[in-house]
Amino acid sequence: MKEATEALSWEELENLTEKESDLINGPNNSYSFLRLFGQDKSSIRVIFYRDRHAWCPYCQKVWLWLEWKRIPYEVKKATMRCYGKKENWYLQKVPSGIFPAIELDKNLITESDQILVSLEKVFGTLGMPLEDPEILNLRNLERKLFRAWCIWLCSQSFSEGQALRKKQQFKIIAQELDNRLSNTNSQWLDSSLESSPKSFPGSLDIVFIPYLERMNASLSYYKGFELREEFPNINNWFKSLEQLDEYRGTQGDFHTHAHDLPPQMGGCWFDHNKNQKLLSQRIDIGYGLGEKETTYKSSKSDSPGKIALRRVLKHRNQIKKVNPLGSEFFDQPLRAALSRMLLKQSFAPAKGSAIGLRYLKDRVSVPRDMPLLSARELRKALEETAQIDGPVQGPSIPIRNRFDQNPLDFLK
């Protein structure tokens, strides 16, 4: 690819952006503080308290339920301890600091399962009731799968045999889920038609979504195990989810999950093998794993690169300020990467800029900052622009916390 000499100016980049979609009534997104689904603001009965990072798996359950039921709600965000200091106003409301919480008709409710049961009683079920005996049995399956995943991912194996036994135990339980999916009458565990002829996932599917998403990412990165390759019905379930904007608005990517899980889970252990090395390298450089990560294809009206550009332009001053190169020096390399992303042409960054470009690449968070495909476009442009400068890597991603992603830096 021939290198151009001059990156686009900020004004030229701004001229390439497109109008933001309707955050209040349009597709699900991580930025909105109000979701109305075409209804009047006076209809709001729910205030949803979730993490600023849009990463909490228990928040994701409540978030998806509200979206698929199309219940108008207001969003208030606070910080997970992994990313920074918990706000005092939230601790005064919820002394434990746990997420999520809701106010339903001004009554505070915590714990995601209790929240969903309470919402069911007021707004009706999404598929079968969560306390139905059949659903309770399958919720226990989700917990069994969760425990097997934790044992494999988060505890050290001292021999190949021990690691293999953990893997086999996980596969046995995952096969139970795959078998269950093969015996349903739709693509879902518990289909819900709601008021539309289109089938949507039920509450049972929502129970499984957060940790299956994290299992898919973490097992690829740390174990070289491809969940979707191993279990075709789980793969088809993911494919169906990825066609729904309600799910995509909450979906994380492999890079975000792989590097945000260690401090949340108390550490993650590698099973060093050829496939693990290959997959983790592709995730780390920002290229992602293609359809193993998502099968969704963007449309012409949904350009991933232009969405990424819009998100960077909104926060560009803070992005430059927190970069290790400093605001002034990082200005040109950032424009060079954005120009490459939009024009599909190589732009040379200032010498010595690889460290800053890779720092940003490693700290793009999905869905907090932008959707999965947009992050893939941006990370790829940042890495390929950094390669022009040289092999120097950015500061290591912390494994005990993610204070390098403190959202307060972007709220000042």
What are the pLDDT digits (tens) for 275-293? 999 999 999 999 999 999 9
What b/e string do you get for 197-220 counting C-beta neighbours within 10 Å, with b at 16 or more? eeebbbbbbbbbbbbbbbbbbbbb
Six-digit token string for 47: 């205030």
- The letter for the amino acid at 338 is L
pLDDT of 52 reads: 95
In this structure, what are the phi and psi dihedrals at residue 77, rounded to the nearest 5 degrees?
Answer: -115, 140
**Domain layout of the chain by residue ranges:** 3-16+303-410, 34-123, 133-292
pLDDT of residue 182: 95
Q: What is the 8-class DSSP label of residue 71?
A: -
* pLDDT for position 366: 98
Residue 21 backbone dihedrals phi, psi, to 5 degrees: -70, 165
List strand residue ranges (DSSP E) for 296-371, in order. Answer: 346-347
Residue 397 has pLDDT above 60, yes or no: yes
Looking at per-residue pLDDT, the higher value among 298 and 246 belongs to 246
Q: State yes or no: pLDDT of 194 exceeds 70.
A: no
Least confident of 108-112, 184-188, 365-369: 184-188
Section 8-25 average pLDDT = 95
CB atoms near residue 305 (< 10 Å): 22
Phi, psi of 224 (to 5 degrees): 70, 25
Over the stretch 223-273, which tens digit does the pLDDT of each residue have? 999 999 999 999 999 999 999 999 999 999 999 999 999 999 999 999 999
Q: If you average pLDDT over residues 401-412, what whole number do you get?
A: 87
pLDDT for residue 2 is more than 70: no
CA angle at 82 for the pair 78 and 85, rounded to the nearest 5° = 50
Pick the CATH number of 34-123 from 3.40.30.10, 1.10.645.10, 3.90.79.10, 3.40.50.300: 3.40.30.10
The reply to whether 133-292 shares the fold of 34-123 is no
Band the pLDDT of 89: cuts 50, 70, 90.
very high
pLDDT score of 266 = 93
E strands, 42-106, are 46-51, 73-78, 101-104
> pLDDT tens digits for 120-172?
999 999 999 999 998 999 999 999 999 999 999 999 999 999 999 999 999 99
Whether the predicted pLDDT of 310 surpasses 70: yes
Q: What is the mean pLDDT of residues 97-106?
A: 97
pLDDT reading at 197 higher than 70: no
pLDDT tens digits, 62-75: 999 999 999 999 99
Question: Could you please report the per-residue DSSP string of 234-297?
Answer: HHHHHHHHHT-HHHHTT---HHHHHHHHHHHHT-------HHHHHHHHHHHHT---GGGT----
Averaged pLDDT of the chain: 95
**Coil, strand or helix: which one is 60?**
helix
What is the CATH number that goes with domain 133-292? 1.20.1050.10
Please check the confidence at residue 4 and state whether its pLDDT lies above 70.
no
**Of the listed ranges 105-114, 297-306, 309-318, 348-357, the one predicted with least confidence:** 297-306
Residue 330's pLDDT is 98
Measure the CA–CA gap between 258 and 282, rounded to whole angstroms: 12
CB 399: neighbour CB atoms within 10 A? 12
| Dihedral sign computed on CA atoms, order 228, 233, 239, 245 | negative
C-beta separation of 192 from 262 below 8 A: no
Helix (H) or strand (E) holding 192: strand 191-192
State residue 356's pLDDT score: 98
Mean pLDDT of the region 303-325: 96
The shares of helix, strand and coil residues in the chain, as percent rounded to the nearest 5, are: 55, 5, 40
pLDDT at 189 over 70: yes
Q: Is the CB of residue 283 less than 8 Å from the CB of residue 254?
A: yes
Q: Judge whether residue 333 has pLDDT over 90.
A: yes
Residues 6 or more apart in contact with residue 71 via CB below 8 angstroms: 37, 45, 46, 119, 123
What's the distance, Cα to Cα, between the start and end of the chain in Å? 40
Determine the 3-state secondary structure of 6 from DSSP.
coil
In order of 79, 259, 325, the CA distances from 355 in angstroms are 27, 18, 8
